[in-house]
A and B are shown apart, each in its own frame.
Chain A
Amino acid sequence: MFIVLIAGAVLAALLEYRSWAMRKHYRDIAFSACVLGVGVALGVLRLLRMPAPTPLGAIQTIFKPASRLLEKLLS
């Protein structure tokens, strides 16, 4: 199911690229393909059951001290 959905997204993107190529929007195709590549890479990571990093972990690390300070002030 997961693979089918990813393949569907890639296929839909490729169809879009074809119409953009006709309009010579190469810059759009380049940026879009890069981001699509990141998406597919993350999908492969998930298929291989590798632990994907969550951006929330970084937010926790950076903003936890400030939040704890705020909580301390109000407790």
Chain B
Amino acid sequence: MTEHVSVRQVMLWLVMYQIGSAFLLLPSALAGIAGRDAWLSVAISVAAHLLLIPLYAAIARQMRGRSFSEYLCGILGKWGGTALSVSFMAVVPFLIFIMTLRNLADYVLTSIAPDMSEDVIYAVMLVAVFIAVRAGAQVVGRSAEILFFILPVLYLIVTVTLLPTTRPDLLLPVAEYGWKPILRASFPLLAFPYLETVLFLAFVPYMKDSRAWSKAVLRSGLISGAMYLIMMIHVIAVVGGKVAANMTFASYLVVRTISIGDFIERFEIVVAIIWYISIFFRLTLLLLIAVRETAIALRLKEESALLIPAMLIAFVMAPSIWPNLAYLYDMFRTWPSYAMTFGIVLPAVLWLVGRARGGQHA
């Protein structure tokens, strides 16, 4: 592997990955379950995510600089490894890629430009993602470094301008209905995006060693976790838990309430910018991993051999992946157990198999 990506680049990329999609979609899903205590659920999910990092770090150590597909072939044999790798890439990163793409269209069509053609939204984003994936991880890592600074600046502006309308009393009383709804609401955020951390294992070969990888993953979890926590507290303290639960894109609509001296108005488009940037990095990471790892598993010479076909399938499937947002919200209830299967059970099994075969094959 000649390409090298620094800890900082990977960290910033992962932060944007974790912020993309979930930042707009989850506040209402979480508030729908836990009400005004949704911010406590965020804290629990981030804590659970941090507790899982040692498991992923252990696998990263076992990988010893190999790609994820090569590692799977190493511990499961040529056929088993290839089969698992190809099916995993199709049903996890690629499926999430299609869902994220659809998220983008849902958001633009609901909140910004209702009359826009859905196909154009997909096509424009896919062209950008295509160029990024073709350029490779190193280039995307560097662009993450350049574009990331916009995120905290915009985020800070939004946070500060929201302060006058913040009413901390809306957060009280804490845990009125006990801890069970809080715990239940922590699952959607843990599942999406934190259990997707298993995908970041594809970054191991790009980095100096597994310790650098763990450092990047840990830091990104802390940064995105803090961003989620502040955002969630804000959403609830501005509009209250009940209203937040009934909004489709709560974090977007909260920013709409900003109005300072008849001068700072219509600020919500700032959130759209944050979201567009982060979702671009999210899509790039998902497609890069899916295409590259599948090519390695199938022993293809061109790393981007499946790039155009995969993008075509995503483009065609995105409009029909879910019929409406109600279906998606219902999906949020089922998704955690699916995510736990690929995010906890699968890594745990791989780690055990890798350990058992450590001496001879892996």
Cα A12 to Cα B120 in complex, Å, equals 18
Total number of B residues with any Cβ neighbor in A under 8 Å: 43
Give chain B residues whose Cβ lies under 8 Å from the Cβ of A64: 334
Q: Does B337 contact A (CB under 8 A)?
A: yes
Q: Which B residues, 170 to 208, have Cβ-Cβ distances below 8 Å to chain A?
A: 180-181, 183-184, 187
Give chain B residues whose Cβ lies under 8 Å from the Cβ of A1: 117, 119-120
A36, B183: Cβ atoms under 8 Å? no
A9, B119: Cβ atoms under 8 Å? no
Residues 316-330 of chain B: 1 if any A CB is under 8 Å from the residue's CB, otherwise 0? 110111100001001
Chain B CB count within 10 A is highest, among A2, A12, A39, for A39
Q: Does B338 contact A (CB under 8 A)?
A: yes
Q: Which A residues, 19 to 34, have Cβ-Cβ distances below 8 Å to chain B?
A: 20, 23, 25, 27-28, 31-33
- Picked from A39, A40, A60, A74, the residue with its CB within 8 Å of the CB of B183 is A74
Total number of A residues with any Cβ neighbor in B under 8 Å: 41
Given A5-B123, A46-B320, A64-B334, the answer on whether A71 and B305 have CB atoms closer than 8 Å is no
A9, B308: Cβ atoms under 8 Å? yes
A27, B315: Cβ atoms under 8 Å? no
**A residues touching B (Cβ–Cβ < 8 Å)?**
1-2, 5-6, 9-10, 12-13, 16, 20, 23, 25, 27-28, 31-33, 35-36, 38-40, 42-43, 46, 51-52, 54-56, 59-60, 62-64, 66-67, 70-71, 74-75
Give 20 new A-B contacts, CB below 8 A, not counting A67-B337, A71-B333: A5-B119, A9-B311, A13-B309, A25-B301, A25-B302, A27-B299, A28-B300, A35-B313, A36-B312, A39-B309, A39-B315, A46-B316, A54-B317, A55-B95, A56-B327, A59-B335, A66-B337, A70-B187, A74-B181, A75-B184
**Could you list 9 A-B pairs, sorted by A, with CB under 8 Å?**
A5-B119, A23-B301, A39-B312, A51-B320, A52-B316, A55-B95, A56-B322, A64-B334, A70-B337
